Structure 1
């Protein structure tokens, strides 16, 4: 479980395709604190540490991971958002994030507005139905509040801290981003779908 409060950023050292799978090697500031098998959210996707060295770690990307997320778009030098799993007793901010990416969207706009930034992201229908105005959405591992919700897109206002503490300065228009809808919204939608089916609606 994660919070969507990005701990730091890392850099892709290599991305090796292994058939339908891949191995991702990252330079990580907290590499010496990691343990084998530990979970790390990389751009919002929960990955397991498969190998370590003093400067970074490697992660194995499964076929399903590459199919559902944007991690396959990474290349040497790419910047990624990193967050270690929430520990019991930690102060909790952001919102509950599982690190299970539901779908990808695309960056529509990322523009400076005074000291802040406007960040627009496209939403596929299966994600849009789970979003509400002022609700939470995890975008590439960042817990964000939806400021405006319109057909097929969400707008976020990014504070100076969030902008500088994440990979956002490196994002380009059109880039794919990982989306994880609010956990509560997904449970409610599932229950309501079952209720409607039972009533024959």
Structure 2
């Protein structure tokens, strides 16, 4: 589980395709963030929960698996690498399917039991890809309007929570029920613009969308309840003839 509070930005340094059904990503990240990242541990990459692999750094980046710094900028933070596999379904349903070497990604380690829940409950299970359809600067902060699939429209609410590329955000405006092109609008403070990839989002940018887990379960429970046949009333049960009664008794 995650909270949607991005801890750092990383960069994809290698993509290996294993035939379309599996892709292996190598990501450069701050060394202190992944110093204790063990094989099998979870890490969110732009909102997608991935499993870290114990694999050495790729050959084209020798030595970067250990903490390194940029020689041109001695003050830069040390970086290290981690790898993770992405299966075909995840490639099809998230922006990782179109990822390229050099792309920046948001990173968050999984939440420890007992930690503060500063954002909201984020599972890292992306529901769909949305598209930024409007961007408006309001002084030092910015509004983003993201078009979402109609199937998710019932899972968003004004002042509710949503994760975009793994960033926990409060929804400031939603489309009217039944809108042909439903949307969720969010406001980005300067820190979010600086610390996450959303600072570079513009009209046309595709983002991973995860709706609030509580909203999803609530919608599902209501759908299941609505699909159940209505129970017979006490009156119906008392007047119904037994199935094995003679026909004249049931007439």
The reply to whether TM is greater than 0.5 is yes
Q: 1:101 aligned to 122, 126, 142, which one? A: 126
Q: Which has the larger radius of gyration?
A: 2
Conservation of the 8 A alpha-carbon contact between 2:162 and 2:168: yes
Q: Equivalents in 2 of 1:71, 1:22: separation in Å?
A: 10
Q: Deviations over 1:20-60 (max 9, x none)?
A: 22111100112323111110000111000013522110110
Q: 1:171 aligned to 198, 201, 207, which one? A: 201
The Cα of 1:172 is off from its aligned counterpart by 3.5
Structure 1 spans left out of the alignment, 5+ residues:
none
Work out which structure has the larger RCO, using CA pairs closer than 8 Å and 6 or more positions apart in sequence: 1
TM-score (norm 2): 0.76
The residue correspondences of 1:77-156 to structure 2 (distance < 5 A) are 77-150=102-175, 151=179, 152-156=182-186
Q: Deviations over 1:166-201 (max 9, x none)?
A: 01233342122111111111111111101111147x
The Cα of 1:87 is off from its aligned counterpart by 0.3
The residue correspondences of 1:1-201 to structure 2 (distance < 5 A) are 1-20=1-20, 21-29=22-30, 30-50=33-53, 51=55, 53-54=65-66, 55-150=80-175, 151=179, 152-199=182-229
How many residues were matched structurally?
A: 200
Conservation of the 8 A alpha-carbon contact between 1:79 and 1:170: no
The Cα of 1:70 is off from its aligned counterpart by 1.1
SS of residue in 1 equivalent to 2:199: helix
Structure 2 spans left out of the alignment, 5+ residues:
57-64, 67-79, 231-251
Higher alpha-carbon deviation: 141-150 or 101-110: 101-110
TM-score (norm 1): 0.95
SS of residue in 2 equivalent to 1:146: strand
The Cα of 1:3 is off from its aligned counterpart by 0.2
Q: Equivalents in 2 of 1:112, 1:9: separation in Å?
A: 22
Higher strand share: 1
Deviating runs (4+, > 4 A) in structure 1?
none
The Cα of 1:122 is off from its aligned counterpart by 0.7
Q: Equivalents in 2 of 1:189, 1:169: separation in Å?
A: 32
SS of residue in 2 equivalent to 1:66: helix
